[in-house]
Amino acid sequence: MTPALEVRNLRKTFGGGRSLTGKPLPAVHAVRDVSLSVRTGETLGIVGESGCGKSTLARMLVGLLKQTEGEIAIEGKNLSDQMGDPAAFGRLIQYVFQDPISSLNPRKTIREILEAPLIHLLGMDESSRKARIAELFEAVNLRREFLSRYPHEFSGGQAQRIGIARALAAAPRILVLDEPVSALDVSVQAQVLNLLADLRQAMDLTYLFISHDLAVVEAVSDSVAVLYFGRVVEVGRAEAIFTTPRHPYTDLLAGSAPIVGRDLGRTESQAVELPDPLRPPPGCAFAARCPKVTALCRDKVPAMEAFSEHHEAACHHPN
Amino acid sequence: MHLYVLKRLLAIVPILIGLTVIVFAIMALIPGDPATAILGSYATPENVEKLNRSLGLDKSVFEQYFIWLGNLLQGDLGRSYSLNRPVLDEVLERFSATLILAGAALLLCTVWGLLIGIWTAARQYGWTDKILTFVVLIGISVPSFWLGLLLILLFSVQWRVLPASGMFAIYGGGDLPDLLRHLILPAVTLSVVATGVIARLTRSAMLEVLRQDFVRTARAKGVPESSVLYRHAFKAALVSVIPVIGIQAGFVLGGAVYIETVFQWPGVGRMLVQAISTRDILLVQGGVVVVAGSYVLFNLLADLAQSWLDPRVKT
Amino acid sequence: MTTLKLIARNHLAAFGGIVLLLVVLVALLVPFLPIVDPDLTDPANRLKRPFSEGALLGTDHLGRDLLARLLWGTQLSLVVGAAAAVIAAVIGSAIGIVAGYFGGRTDSLIMRGIDMLMAFPYILLALAIVAVLGPGLLNALYAVAIVNIPFFARNIRGVTVSLAHREFVDAARLSGMNDWQIIRSEILPNVLPVIVIAMSTTIGWMILETAGLSFLGLGSQPPQADLGSMLGEGRKLLITAPHASIVPGVMIFIIVMSVNLLGDGIRDALDPRLRSGALSRPAAATRVERAETPAKTEDAEALLKVDGLRTEFRLGNRAYRAVGGVDFAVRAGECLGIIGESGSGKSVTALSLLGLVASPPGMITGGAVRIDGADTLSMNGEALRRLRGGKVAYVFQDPLATLHPLYRIGDQMVEAIRCHRPMAKQAAWDHAVSLLEQVRIPNAAFRAKAYPHELSGGMRQRVGIALALVNDPELLILDEPTTALDVTVQAQVLALLDDLRRERNLAMVFITHDFGVVSQLCDRVAVMYAGRIVETGPTEAVLESPSHPYTKRLIACVPELGGGRRALSAIPGLPPPVDDLPAGCAFAPRCDKASEQCRKGDIPLEGSEARAVRCLQPEGAAA
């Protein structure tokens, strides 16, 4: 079966090039050699902390950003040459933003916001637009009278529903959800997550769910990819990742999440953080924080290695 | 830090080049024939052609520009036909008078602008604030050339305490006290608008900064209120005020045109107005290049002052 | 229109608006007014004084009627100034929007050009342009407009750049809109208020400048006269006939002043920050207006005792009751967690303890905060200052915004030390470095010389903690100190706080929204909802057997690692707005156990001091 989304060796470098005098300019490799594949109807969770390149990756997947290298195919259709042109992607893949309020133009009514994709992507006439908007609003459980209001009149949870309705308007096959609930309170988070789960079933959608919160990712994902410093360090079925993590970073991430009833994890006593993106280390980016580090790790970037059919990790000394 | 200074210095080179291009282009666009302007309308065609050749006007525009630029770099701005002396000599002489006037005005507006801004911000909605804010609004609304006339009427005509015009007294003047007496009215007049602009901006910058989280941190660590105001808030506000002081230097240098006309101050502004009316192109060109060039340098100073104050700028 | 109302409420702006309206009306009606021809010379009646017969404002050196010339001149000046403003605004804004939206090469090319124009002192450039075009009113108009284009271009570019990176612009691109459609429907409507503000604050300038050029003889040419050239003509007779220059000058002043007053009013009405009163200066301490101070309750052990604390925000005629009567106590060495969702009043509670709520609009309207028995809300400025950063210290959420950007972190710590005790600079610096070591900052002596922006988020928060510890406080108030951090860094910082607490026997008030954090760090917990504590008790007891339905359901919402794929539970509805709280229990509208009784009257926080709940039908109790 063709996967819903297939990404090969995607890479994004910011800056770089040469100055007028021929001196190389500093370059940040935000995303390096990311390959992913998502089956139709499934949810791929992408986990990572700030600076891991998850937002850059997401923006490339929906075509907002042009890749430096690499290929992307949606439902078998190669779109690699059209990256940087979101209109080409819009009918296949859409994006739900982290900050629900700032993703809505404060000077447009909700109806105007929802009409834009119907006009520009689908070229619908007025009566079919009306019907489609009613259908969308029903799907995300919002009342019709909201349509003539402006974004600032809504709470975060309601605004995120509107954001989801906007993303669904052009009937895409895939949604990229970029931290869709991290700006929301916990009591509202679940409302949105459950809505997303219902929609996926009802519309046979495929999700890429990006989050820093391991617990949320576990609750929604079929498979999971862990990102660190621009690379995928571990990828596999969700159960496998959470029961037998192979990469020490996945371990650290799971051990760091504050959990009711668990003692403070003494995972790292020293203050160690990400390497300098302008001067990345030659070997494994996690080496400086890794309890199992050896000389090999500092020298050589580990390659992806398969542990089972659907479980891979990039580590010289996997668990 | 040194690297940053060097970078900034290099960055003004294209601006200076652009400036000479604009000045040259403007002057090249002036309709009419300079030779005719110089020789009068009864000149013979041969004479006109001869003069054109000696002025280099028979060459292409590009060649003319590079010749002009080359001469400029050697300090040769040509010869003013209306004054019959080298443009550079005239411009430098006049410009020194303008620098005295503009420098005094800039000093006044910076000091008073900052003081009024801080006072009004510290006493927001108090009487001091209300009165000063209104006075400042009057200051930025009053035409400076008219204010100059009013001051002359009051201080020179009515009360006869200060001289109405010129830089030195005609008889027995020429020393520093004499210069200062002549300087007071034009410098004050020239500084009024800029004072108002700086004061308004300082006030709003202070109020903005006082709302910020790091001011709350300062209070939370027990910093005395005066220190919160002057050490924490003022320094942060200054970062956004300094560029405006740089811009005000431009207003003051330009505004000098009016003030020099009103007070008959022998500066470059008055020279320019006269040169425009006599169509003495080389003189206009020279004056504009020198004033604009010095303004670019002043803005460079403002930039460096800002980067010295704000470590975030350098990166 | 609220904007118009806001302008009208601002007396000065309204006054300016009315004056301007009158001037404009007169200028419009000039052709129909019974005045003499402004260009009619009458040498016999030259230089008549104002209020003389047949010439209300006198006559000029050619015997022309000054009133007539003034009215026609006003019309001309207004038209020219307004036209220059419109031209500059349209061209400048278009340039700014294009540069800001497209960015990259387009942007740098355009802005370099603008920089070149700005390299000329303002009026000098106008002079040069007039020199090219030749004197004349229309040319003066062009000159003034061109000179002002860079101002608009720069301003509008700045706003556009920030808009172009907003998410709704990405959303529009994903909706299939092309660049010009986005500029028209997403950027322009949001930039328009800024253009209007920029125009209303510069139109006065432009009137002044065109008048100035005419004054120099480079604008309107005789016999046509705008106000500037009238002034220029009058200047020559300054001593013999001062009225000839005073009259047009007064008119220019009136126009510009009224334009500026109105412009300020428009700016204030359109600027959202000014609208919410955000630009008023916060006082050194929160204003306190209490009807009475609650009596001292006996609790000898308590380091911090809060009774009936109420804090409101007053905006316009609405009162937002952020904190509506909060009581709690913290003993020496104890860590109390205050947990709640956004808007629950937990942060305002923390800031109220030492009067750090910005005021206006904040105001403490009731209660007492006693530290070692002394009420901080009735302390004078100096006593409160000694307490702040001395016995009680704060750690805030976002360390990039909460540290001063222009001072080295070591200097900020030295200042905090020397505000409280006399210590030589070097000794204070050494002390600061040793504290940076204690919060486990690698290479502390070197990092002390760094500026906040040079450190990572985790490092900055360690600095924030070190800064709080400089004077050996007994109580630390931490307002969401780890919320902005990544989980792995959060774990490091929490471990650090736990160690410090044990080493120094620190008492803590820890504000958070995260149950996991509370459970790992706090001895006791208080749960807040809509400005009040709804449940309090030992952390383990509250988390294991919550009594309040809100606590119970909130805990159920938190996704926990190890649960596998599942549906999560949610609480339907939203917390009530704090300017319109329901009677009775604030949670009743979302609670499935709520009865009639729950919706009326005040429900007390009942139980022992160790374990209390604000509910009529607590969980686990017999129904």
pLDDT at site B36: 66
The reply to whether residue A86 touches residue C513, judged by beta carbons under 8 angstroms, is no
What pLDDT shows up at residue C623? Answer: 42
Distance, in Å, from the CA atom of C72 to the CA atom of C225, rounded to the nearest integer, reads: 8
Query: Is C388 near chain B, with CB under 8 Å?
Result: yes
C116:B19 CB<8 A: yes
- Range with the largest mean pLDDT of B295-309, C245-259, C587-601: C245-259
Q: Which chains touch C (3 or more CB pairs under 8 A)?
A: A, B
Q: Measure B228 CA to nearest chain C CA, in Å.
A: 9
| Cβ contacts from A onto C, under 8 A | 218
**Mean pLDDT over residues C240-258, rounded?**
92
In this predicted model, what pLDDT tens digit does every residue of A25-43 receive, in sequence order?
778 889 999 999 999 999 9
- Chain-chain contact of A256 with C495 (C-beta, under 8 angstroms): no
Instruction: Kindly identify which residue of chain B lies nearest to residue C132, measuring between CA atoms.
Output: B30
User: Which C residues, 397 through 426, put their C-beta within 8 Å of a C-beta on chain B?
Assistant: 398, 401-406, 415-416, 419-420
Contact C342 A219 (CB under 8 A): no
> Residue C385 above 70 pLDDT?
yes
Amino acid at A195: L
Q: CATH classification of C286-333+343-380+523-560+569-618, choosing from 3.40.1410.10, 3.40.50.300, 3.90.226.10, 1.10.150.50?
A: 3.40.50.300
Percent over 70 (pLDDT), chain A: 96
DSSP letter for B228, please. I
Query: What is the Cα–Cα distance from B57 to B65, expressed in whole angstroms?
Result: 11
Q: Least CA distance to C417: which residue of chain B?
A: B221
Tell me what pLDDT residue B67 has: 87
Record: contact B311-C406, CB cut-off 8 A: yes
Q: Which residue has the higher pLDDT, A206 or B278?
A: A206
pLDDT at C622 over 60: no
Binding partners of B (≥3 Cβ pairs within 8 A): C
| Percentage above 90 pLDDT, chain A | 61
Candidates C412, C449, C495, C400; CA nearest to A271 is C495
Chain B residues touching residue C239 (CB < 8 angstroms): 157
Chain A: residue whose CA lies nearest to C573? A188
Residue range B284-295: mean pLDDT, rounded:
90
* pLDDT above 50 (res C285): yes
Does A282 sit behind a cis peptide bond, omega within 30 degrees of 0 on the bond before it?
A: no
Query: Lowest mean pLDDT: which of A238-242, A278-282, C338-342, C594-598?
Result: A278-282
Strands (E), B32-144: 79-80, 85-86
Instruction: Give the pLDDT of residue A50.
Output: 85
Q: Which residues make beta-bridge pairs with A69?
A: A11
Decide if C416 and B223 are in contact by the 8 Å CB cutoff: yes
Q: Return d(Cα A12, Cα C3) in angstroms, integer.
A: 46
Cβ-Cβ contacts under 8 Å for C462 (sequence gap 6 or more):
A271, C436, C439, C440, C441, C493, C496
A34-70 confidence digits (pLDDT tens): 999 999 999 999 999 888 889 999 999 999 999 999 9
What is the largest distance, in Å, between two alpha-carbon atoms of chain B? 85
- Closest partner residue to B143 (CB to CB) among C208, C416, C470 is C208
Q: Chain C residue closest to B233 (CA)?
A: C404
Query: Binning pLDDT at 50, 70 and 90, where does residue A269 land?
Result: low
Residue range C563-584: mean pLDDT, rounded: 85
Query: pLDDT at residue C214 above 90?
Result: yes
B204 has a pLDDT exceeding 60: yes
Stronger pLDDT, B76 or B117, i.e. the higher one = B117
For residue C217, pLDDT over 80 is answered with yes
Q: Please answer yes or no on whether C564 and A218 come within 8 Å at the CB atom.
A: yes
**Residues A289 and A272: beta-carbon distance below 8 Å:** yes
Q: State the nearest Cα–Cα gap between A196 and chain C, in angstroms.
A: 10
Interface check for B211 against chain C (CB to CB < 8 A): the answer is yes
> Which chain C residues have a beta carbon less than 8 Å from that of B221?
388-389, 393-394, 415-416, 419, 467-468, 470
What's the gap in Å between the CA of C208 and the closest CA on chain B? 6
Does B264 lie at the interface with C, CB-CB under 8 angstroms? no
Exposure letters B23-50 (e unless 16+ CB within 10 A, then b): bbebbeebeeebbebbbeeebeeeebee
Compare CB distances from C419 to B157, B223, B254 and report the shortest one's residue. Answer: B223
Residues of C whose CB is below 8 A from A253: 487-488
Q: Are C461 and B217 in contact (CB under 8 A)?
A: no
**How many cross-chain Cβ pairs, B to C, lie less than 8 Å apart?**
236
Q: What is the mean pLDDT of residues A237-246?
A: 91
Q: How far is B62 from chain C (nearest CA, A)?
A: 19
Question: Picking from A156-160, B94-98, C33-37, C390-394, which range would have the lowest pLDDT averaged per residue?
Answer: C33-37
d(CA C490, CA B216): 23
Domains in chain C: boundaries: 10-28+53-274, 286-333+343-380+523-560+569-618
Residue C15 pLDDT level (bands cut at 50, 70, 90):
very high
Min distance C562 CA to chain A CA atoms (Å): 7
- The closest CB to that of C561, out of A190, A197, A254, belongs to A254
B236 neighbourhood in chain C, CB within 8 Å: 404-406
Longest dimension (CA), chain C: 109
A-interface mutation test, from C561, C574, C578, most A Cβ less than 10 A away: C561
pLDDT above 90 (res C387): yes
Of B15, B150, B216, the CB nearest to C356: B216
- Whether the CB of B124 is below 8 Å from some CB of chain C: the reply is yes
Give the residue from chain C lying closest to B250, CA to CA. C121
Interface contact C204, partner B, CB < 8 A: yes
Mean pLDDT across chain C, nearest whole number?
A: 89
> One-letter amino acid identity for C31?
P
CB hemisphere CA count around B2 (13 angstroms): 0
Residue A231 vs residues A8, A54, A145, A169: alpha-carbon distances, Å = 13, 9, 45, 32
Across the interface, do C402 and B213 touch by the CB < 8 Å criterion?
Answer: yes
In a 3-state reduction of DSSP, which class is residue C311? strand
Residue C578 has a pLDDT of 86
pTM for the full predicted model: 0.90
Look at residue C463 and tell me whether its pLDDT is greater than 90: yes
Judge: A185–C513 Cβ closer than 8 Å, yes or no. yes
Averaged pLDDT, B40-46: 73
Chain centroid, CA C183 distance in Å: 27
The pLDDT assigned to C33 comes to: 85
Query: Which residues from C are below 8 Å from B157, CB to CB?
Result: 238-239
Confirm or reject contact between C253 and chain B (CB < 8 A).
Answer: yes
3-state secondary structure A110-171: HHHHHHHHHHHCCCCCHHHHHHHHHHHHHHCCCCHHHHHCCHHHCCHHHHHHHHHHHHHHCC
> For C117-138, what is each residue's pLDDT tens digit?
888 887 888 888 888 888 889 9
**Predicted local distance difference test score (pLDDT) of residue C56:** 81
* Residue B53 in this model has a pLDDT that exceeds 90: no
Domain map of chain A by residue range?
5-82+211-313
Q: How confident is the model at residue A266 (pLDDT cuts 50, 70, 90)?
A: low
b/e code C51-72 from CB counts within 10 Å (16+ = b): eeeebebbbbbbbbbbbbbbbb
Which of C176, C494, C515 has the CB atom closest to A121's CB atom?
Answer: C176
The CATH number for C10-28+53-274, chosen from 2.40.50.140, 3.20.20.100, 1.10.3720.10, 1.20.1260.10, is: 1.10.3720.10
pLDDT recorded at residue C621: 61
Answer whether A212 sits within 8 Å of C486, measured CB to CB.
yes
Give the strand pairing for C362-371 and C374-375: antiparallel
SS3 assignment, position A268: coil
* C-alpha distance from A59 to closest chain C C-alpha (Å): 9
Residue B95: its pLDDT value, please? Answer: 94
Q: Quick check: do A and B touch, 3+ CB pairs under 8 A?
A: no
What does the pLDDT look like over C63-115, one tens digit per residue? 888 899 999 999 999 999 999 999 999 999 999 999 999 988 899 999 988 98
Maximum average pLDDT range among A277-286, B7-16, C407-416: C407-416
pLDDT digits (tens, 9 = 90+) for C503-519: 999 999 999 999 989 99
Q: Which of C252, C358, C401 sits opposite B214 (nearest CB)?
A: C401
Give me the pLDDT at residue C99, please. 95
Candidates A260, A269, A273; nearest CB to C519: A260
Taking the C-alpha atoms of residue C76 and residue C230, their distance in angstroms, rounded to an integer, is 12
Name residues 445-474 of chain C within 8 A of B (Cβ). Answer: 451, 453-454, 467-468, 470
Which residue in the set C123, C253, C282 is minimally distant from B143, CB to CB? C253
Beta-carbon separation of C131 and B295 below 8 A: no
B4 interfaces chain C, CB cutoff of 8 Å: no
- What is the C-alpha to C-alpha distance for residues B256 and B187, in angstroms, rounded to an integer? 9
- Give the whole-angstrom CA distance, residue C140 versus residue C132: 11
Architecture of the A5-82+211-313 domain: 3-Layer(aba) Sandwich (3.40)
Q: Are A and C neighbours with ≥3 CB pairs closer than 8 A?
A: yes
Mean pLDDT over each residue of chain A, to the nearest integer: 89
Is residue B315 over pLDDT 60? Answer: no
- Residues with Cβ < 8 Å from B15, sequence gap 6 or more? B296, C115, C116, C119
